[in-house]
Structure 1
Amino acid sequence: MRQADPSFWILMLLAAVVATTPLAIDMYLPAMPMMAAELDAGITLVQQSLSIFLAAYGIGMLLFGPLADMLGRRPLAIFGLTGFILASVALSRVSSIEWFLGWRAVQALCGAAASVVVPGIIRHLYQQHTAKGMSYVSMIMMLAPLLAPAMGSAVIWLASWQAIFLFLALYGVIVVGCCWRFLPEINSDSARQRPAFFSGYVKVFRKKSAWPDIASSMFASFAFFCFLTAVSFVYIGYFGVSEQQFALLFGFNVLALMSANLLNSRLVVRFGPQRMLRFGLVVAIASVSLLCGFNYYGLGLWYTVLTIAPLMASLGLMATNADAMIIMQFPDNSGSATAVIGTLRFGSGALAGPMLAWFYTGDALPFSALMLTGVLAIGLSQLWRSIRRSKQLDPAC
């Protein structure tokens, strides 16, 4: 008999937990110029708060991933959300950029503690259909980056930039209350055995069969962060669209990501995560090749828009299925596996900005070329996976 899917409301709750990060990243972006003026800091220093957030989030994933396996997911989620609330309140009260940057790092660390538990819970609830569950959660969670910039602008219009962080604190209070009441506890064998802190990482890195999928997830994130870092310059600075048009175009790309996750949730049970990843890779190679060609010849805005949308959808498809295949290989160390994925993801994303600055030419070609590099690296990772598998199946090897 087919196992019934978990409650829709549990999936909504898990998505709400993960959404703390994109909300914290995207809601305050429209307020950066105002914050620079009020905190008496340069705009570049305020922008560094995003890099600090990403770096601290990656460190938090490394720190809290094994603790999720050792201590349990529900207590860690509640701890992380509580810290996120307190840090958000503190951010609304700062009067200097130094305190802002410090509390921003604390906010990221606590957000990592909460979100690192989610894939392990999904894996427990969905078992062999983990990719389906992750698609559902990702699809719901995508509402956060879709709405966050507009929400931040609305809060500034009604109040001030400090109110953005009070809103994040209120959001955290609602989510932690729901987690206290409804979030299930998932205990693994490793939790009962109290393993050493680094034993989970040792198991993850020793399992060579997971390496190609870890690399695929990392390079998909690199390509995605190339887009996220450069998109405002490409659309506003290079193609000259207005801020309102930019919001619509950005939302269009988020809708493409949501559509890909919806498609994956419907088809992955039938075709499996590996075939869905390969389908995404084919679409990505075709889309990014066209994107590079259009930007090389300096064609107009809509050529870029209509190739980025399927490219972003395919990156989401590949990342979701790669992550699911990784998590499925580590039922008792899903926290450590999630930490490895998250750290490599945000670490590779942190490289996007410096590389885009290094190859800056004033047009849209560098970002599309770097995205092409990321997609080709995914292709090489999956080729590596196929070669390893064929050697294992060959009795002569």
Structure 2
Amino acid sequence: MSTHPAVRFFDRATPPHIFTLIIMTGLGALSMNIFLPSLPAMTTYFDTEYRVMQLSVSLYLGVNAVMQIVIGPISDRFGRRPILLGGVVIFLLATIGCLLAQNIETFLIFRMIQAVIVVGLVLGRAVVRDMHEEAQAASQIGYVTMGMAIVPMIGPAIGGKLDEVLGWQANFWLLLILGGIVLMLIWWDLGETARTKSTDFVAQFREYPELLTARRFWGYCLAAAFASGAFFSYLGGAPYVGSEVFGLSASQVGIYFGAPAVGYFFGNGISGRFSTRVGINKMILWGAIITVVGLLISTLIFLLGYGSALVFFGFTTFVGLGNGMVLPNATSGMLSVRPHLAGTASGLGGAMMLGGGAALSALAGDVLTEGSGAMPLLLMMLTTSLMGVAAIVYTIRREAQVTKA
């Protein structure tokens, strides 16, 4: 049962309203993808090559993963509120730097600094865990990340229209305005939720073995990493499959590409509604199985010779649906293994998901060659999904052993 005071909107003496958490976490997702349609125009503006311009994505992800490891321990030491406020201020300054950059090197430096906005995602989850017990935390994380699921569906469309009408800089002006709104929301609404703080970093690092040697923590981390790995594989290979295998135009690929996001939205809704009632382990297991079933059916259809773009992209909805059930609950699980290290666990778990997913995304691009068809990508997604099922089954059994002991 929560010992925090009741939530009151715009009251810094109470924990934040869920609206603040949704907007706070959504800004990071928007910062990642809103400018993607502008990459060709930005390549011309900075007089560089497209592969160099793409570093604005890969470098951002790399810094993002590293910062997830660092932010958690810092917030466990100093609290959630000051780190969130500082992170958003740095994001705003970096966004101004992106707007003022006159060459690609300067832009990429400020773009990497923009990755600090990951504080919203890492500490948004930690704040929820501070406020609620395990099952209810999973429910609340489901609602928070359901808001994030909308961003990948609408972000690139908004960015493309802004670029067409006002130029690529309009995307970063929008991020600057939204960042200012998020800063005000945090300032006025987000009271400190970390009840206990570590005394110093040395003492905190001494506690790392307690987290890193917890098998349930690794079980939940691996369940989340393998589940998201299927989606990251899709991100790396689906554009190639759509354009080269099925001959779709860029606009058609863009429409089909959002299929997992639709499933993810509903999966998060299911988590928000049923996690408290059903329990996180069952939700993770069902979500992982749903992903496997969808990919298995798709693979069988392709093996029978009836594969098509509609089949391939349509069944990836199951990947999003399963992820929406797995990720909020697995996140709540990894944060609940050692609640006093919730910030550290959130950062480390997030870094594992992002780092592993980025590697699978790159691998997906390598296995797809001319004439290979969609099968290598389907098999990769199916394999990582099966490993996700194995991870949660192991975790459930481990928990049962601990309970009996």
- TM class by smaller structure: over 0.9
Counterpart of 2:148 in structure 1 is 141
Matched, 1:32 2:39: yes
Counterpart of 2:330 in structure 1 is 322
Which of 388, 393, 397 is matched with 2:398 structurally? Answer: 388
- Give unpaired runs (5+ residues) of structure 2: 10-15
Aligned-pair identity (%): 24
1:42-81 equivalences under 5 Å are 42-81=49-88
Counterpart of 2:317 in structure 1 is 309
Query: For residues 36 and 298 of structure 1, what CA distance do their matches in structure 2 show?
Result: 40
1:202-217 equivalences under 5 Å are 202-217=209-224
Distance 1:131-1:393 versus aligned 2 partners, 3 A rule? closer
Counterpart of 1:343 in structure 2 is 351
Match of 2:347, SS state, is: helix
Counterpart of 2:244 in structure 1 is 237
Query: For residues 295 and 35 of structure 1, what CA distance do their matches in structure 2 show?
Result: 39
CA drift of 1:242 comes to: 3.3
Match of 2:340, SS state, is: coil
Query: For residues 342 and 72 of structure 2, what CA distance do their matches in structure 1 show?
Result: 8
Which of 362, 368, 374 is matched with 1:354 structurally? Answer: 362
TM-superposition CA deviations, 1:129-171 (whole Å, max 9, x none)? 1110000101112221111001101110121112211211111
CA drift of 1:20 comes to: 2.0
Counterpart of 1:372 in structure 2 is 382
Distance 1:138-1:7 versus aligned 2 partners, 3 A rule? farther
1:5-24 equivalences under 5 Å are 10-24=17-31
Which of 106, 116, 121 is matched with 2:122 structurally? Answer: 116
CA drift of 1:256 comes to: 1.4
Query: For residues 70 and 17 of structure 1, what CA distance do their matches in structure 2 show?
Result: 21
Counterpart of 1:222 in structure 2 is 229
Query: For residues 185 and 5 of structure 1, what CA distance do their matches in structure 2 show?
Result: 13
Query: For residues 302 and 38 of structure 1, what CA distance do their matches in structure 2 show?
Result: 37
Which of 132, 136, 142 is matched with 1:126 structurally? Answer: 132
Taking structure 1 as the reference length, the TM-score comes to: 0.92
Query: For residues 130 and 404 of structure 2, what CA distance do their matches in structure 1 show?
Result: 33
Counterpart of 1:333 in structure 2 is 341
1:80-91 equivalences under 5 Å are 80-91=87-98
Query: For residues 150 and 7 of structure 1, what CA distance do their matches in structure 2 show?
Result: 34
Query: For residues 359 and 247 of structure 1, what CA distance do their matches in structure 2 show?
Result: 22
Distance 1:170-1:360 versus aligned 2 partners, 3 A rule? same
Q: Which stretch shows the higher mean deviation, 357-366 or 47-56?
A: 357-366
Match of 1:227, SS state, is: helix
Q: Is the Cα–Cα contact under 8 Å of residues 295 and 368 in structure 1 kept in the other structure?
A: no
Q: Is the Cα–Cα contact under 8 Å of residues 284 and 330 in structure 2 kept in the other structure?
A: yes
Q: Report the aligned-residue RMSD.
A: 2.2
Taking structure 2 as the reference length, the TM-score comes to: 0.91
- Give unpaired runs (5+ residues) of structure 1: none
Query: For residues 237 and 95 of structure 1, what CA distance do their matches in structure 2 show?
Result: 36
Q: Which stretch shows the higher mean deviation, 330-339 or 386-395?
A: 386-395
TM-superposition CA deviations, 1:11-42 (whole Å, max 9, x none)? 12111111122111111110111111121211
Matched, 1:277 2:284: yes
